Amino acid sequence: MTSASTTTSTIYSATETPSSTDTGTIVTTIASVSAPLITNTIVASSSISETIDTNTLTTDVTLSTTTSTVSTSSTESSSSSSSSSETTDSSSASIDVNLYTTTSSALTISVPTDSTTQTTESSIYTTTSSVSSTVSGTSDSSTASIDVSLYTTTSAASSSSTSESSSSGTSSSVISSSSSTSGYTGDLFSVIDTAAPPSVFPRENLYLSLTDGVSNGDTPYETNKFYTNMMLDDQDDFVFVYPYAVWWLKDTYYGLGISHTTYSDYVFTYDDDSTTASSYSNPLDVESLVLSADSFDSSVTLDLTEMEHMSVLATLSESSSTTNFIDFPLVQGMGFVTGVYNGGLTPIINSAVGFSVITQEESDALASGILKYRATLYNEVDWLIYVTLPDGYTTSDFSFTTESSYELKGSASIDGLIIQVAVAPDSTQEAYYDEAAGMYPTAANVSGTVTDSTSAVYSLSYTTSGKSYSGSTMVFALAHHVDSLSSTTADLATGISLYSTTKGKMYGYLTTELIMEETLETDIQFLPWVANMTSDLSYTADQLQLIAAAANSELSVDIATTVASLDSNYYSGKVIDKYAYILLTVSEIIGSEDVTKQTLSAMKDAFAPFLNNTQYYPLMYDTLYKGVTSTASQSGDTDLDFGSGYYNDHHFHYGYFVHAAAIVGYVDAKYNGTWAEENKDWVNSLIRDVANPSSDDTYFPISRMFDWFHGHSWAAGLFSAADGKNEESSSEDYNFAYGMKLWGKVIGDNSMESRGDLMLAVMKRAMNKYFLYSDDNDVEPSPIIPNKVSGILFDNMIEHTTYFGSNTEYIQGIHMLPITPVSSLIRGAEFVKQEWDEVIASIIDSVDSGWTGILRLNEALYDATTSYSFFSSDNFTSTYLDDGQSLTWCLAFSAGIMNST
**pLDDT band at residue 29 under the 50/70/90 scheme:** very low
Q: What is the mean pLDDT of residues 676-682?
A: 98
Domain identity same for 774 and 836: yes
pLDDT at residue 55 tops 70: no
**pLDDT band at residue 835 under the 50/70/90 scheme:** very high
Catalytic residue among 732, 753, 757, 835: 732
**Final residue in a domain of this structure, among 519, 539, 565:** 519
Q: What is the mean pLDDT of residues 851-861?
A: 98
pLDDT at residue 631 tops 80: yes
Domain identity same for 302 and 395: yes
**pLDDT of the residue at 180:** 54
**Final residue in a domain of this structure, among 519, 553, 581:** 519
Q: How far is CA 619 from the centre of its chain?
A: 21
**Final residue in a domain of this structure, among 468, 488, 519:** 519
User: How much of the chain, in percent, has pLDDT values that exceed 90?
Assistant: 79
**pLDDT of the residue at 15:** 55
pLDDT at residue 676 tops 70: yes
**pLDDT of the residue at 117:** 28
Count of structural domains, the chain: 3
Whether 859 is covered by a domain: the verdict is yes
pLDDT at residue 152 tops 60: no
**pLDDT band at residue 305 under the 50/70/90 scheme:** very high
**pLDDT band at residue 108 under the 50/70/90 scheme:** very low
Using CA atoms, how far apart are residues 29 and 715, in angstroms rounded to an integer? Answer: 27
Whether 877 is covered by a domain: the verdict is yes
- Residue 588 annotated in active site: no
- Residue 114 annotated in active site: no
pLDDT at residue 448 tops 60: yes
Domain identity same for 777 and 865: yes
User: Residue 79's closest CA among 119, 109, 123, 105?
Assistant: 109
Q: How do strand 106-107 and strand 400-404 relate by DSSP bridges? A: unpaired
**pLDDT of the residue at 868:** 98
Question: Which stretches within 748-885 are classed as H helix?
Answer: 750-770, 808-813, 823-826, 829-835, 850-859, 864-871
Using CA atoms, how far apart are residues 689 and 814, in angstroms rounded to an integer? Answer: 24
Domain identity same for 397 and 449: no
**pLDDT of the residue at 138:** 30
Q: What is the CA radius of gyration of the chain?
A: 31
Over residues 467-482, the pLDDT tens digits come to 999 999 999 999 999 9
**pLDDT of the residue at 176:** 66
Domain identity same for 370 and 488: no
Using CA atoms, how far apart are residues 811 and 896, in angstroms rounded to an integer? Answer: 28
**pLDDT of the residue at 289:** 98
**pLDDT of the residue at 321:** 82
**pLDDT of the residue at 274:** 83
Catalytic residue among 121, 222, 649, 668: 649
Over residues 408-432, the pLDDT tens digits come to 999 999 999 999 999 999 999 999 9
Whether 343 is covered by a domain: the verdict is yes
Domain identity same for 426 and 567: no
| CB-based contact 226:503 (threshold 8 Å) | no
pLDDT at residue 522 tops 90: yes
Q: What is the mean pLDDT of residues 729-735?
A: 98
Domain identity same for 490 and 552: no
Q: Average pLDDT, whole number, for the chain?
A: 85
pLDDT at residue 644 tops 50: yes
- From the number of C-beta atoms within 10 Å of its C-beta (0-12, 13-18, 19+), residue 336 rates as buried
Domain identity same for 581 and 685: yes
**pLDDT of the residue at 11:** 75
Q: What is the mean pLDDT of residues 564-579?
A: 97
- Judged by average pLDDT, the poorest of 129-143, 663-677, 871-885 is 129-143
**pLDDT of the residue at 272:** 80
Over residues 221-275, the pLDDT tens digits come to 999 999 999 999 999 999 999 999 999 999 999 999 999 999 999 999 998 878 9
- Sheet hosting strand 473-477, strand order edge to edge: 473-477, 505-511, 493-499
User: Residue 379's closest CA among 401, 361, 360, 355?
Assistant: 355
Using CA atoms, how far apart are residues 123 and 146, in angstroms rounded to an integer? Answer: 10
pLDDT at residue 767 tops 50: yes
Over residues 776-796, the pLDDT tens digits come to 999 999 999 999 999 999 999
710: domain CATH number?
A: 1.50.10
Whether 741 is covered by a domain: the verdict is yes
Domain identity same for 529 and 671: yes
Whether 313 is covered by a domain: the verdict is yes
Domain identity same for 322 and 362: yes
**pLDDT of the residue at 273:** 75
| CB-based contact 111:94 (threshold 8 Å) | yes
User: Residue 347's closest CA among 358, 355, 339?
Assistant: 339
**pLDDT of the residue at 320:** 73
Whether 237 is covered by a domain: the verdict is yes
pLDDT at residue 94 tops 80: no
Domain identity same for 312 and 448: no
Catalytic residue among 518, 728, 757, 859: 728
User: How many C-alpha atoms does 118 have within 13 Å on its Cβ side?
Assistant: 8
**pLDDT of the residue at 674:** 98
Whether 184 is covered by a domain: the verdict is no
Whether 44 is covered by a domain: the verdict is no
Q: Look at residue 557 and give its three-state secondary structure.
A: coil
**pLDDT band at residue 5 under the 50/70/90 scheme:** low
Name the residue range of residue 496's domain: 444-519
pLDDT at residue 667 tops 80: yes
> Which residue did the predictor score with more confidence, 458 or 11?
458
Domain identity same for 706 and 574: yes
- Residue 727 annotated in active site: no
Instruction: Note the pTM of the prediction, 2 decimals.
Output: 0.86
**pLDDT band at residue 172 under the 50/70/90 scheme:** low
**pLDDT band at residue 691 under the 50/70/90 scheme:** very high
261: domain CATH number?
A: 2.70.98.30
User: How many C-alpha atoms does 481 have within 13 Å on its Cβ side?
Assistant: 25
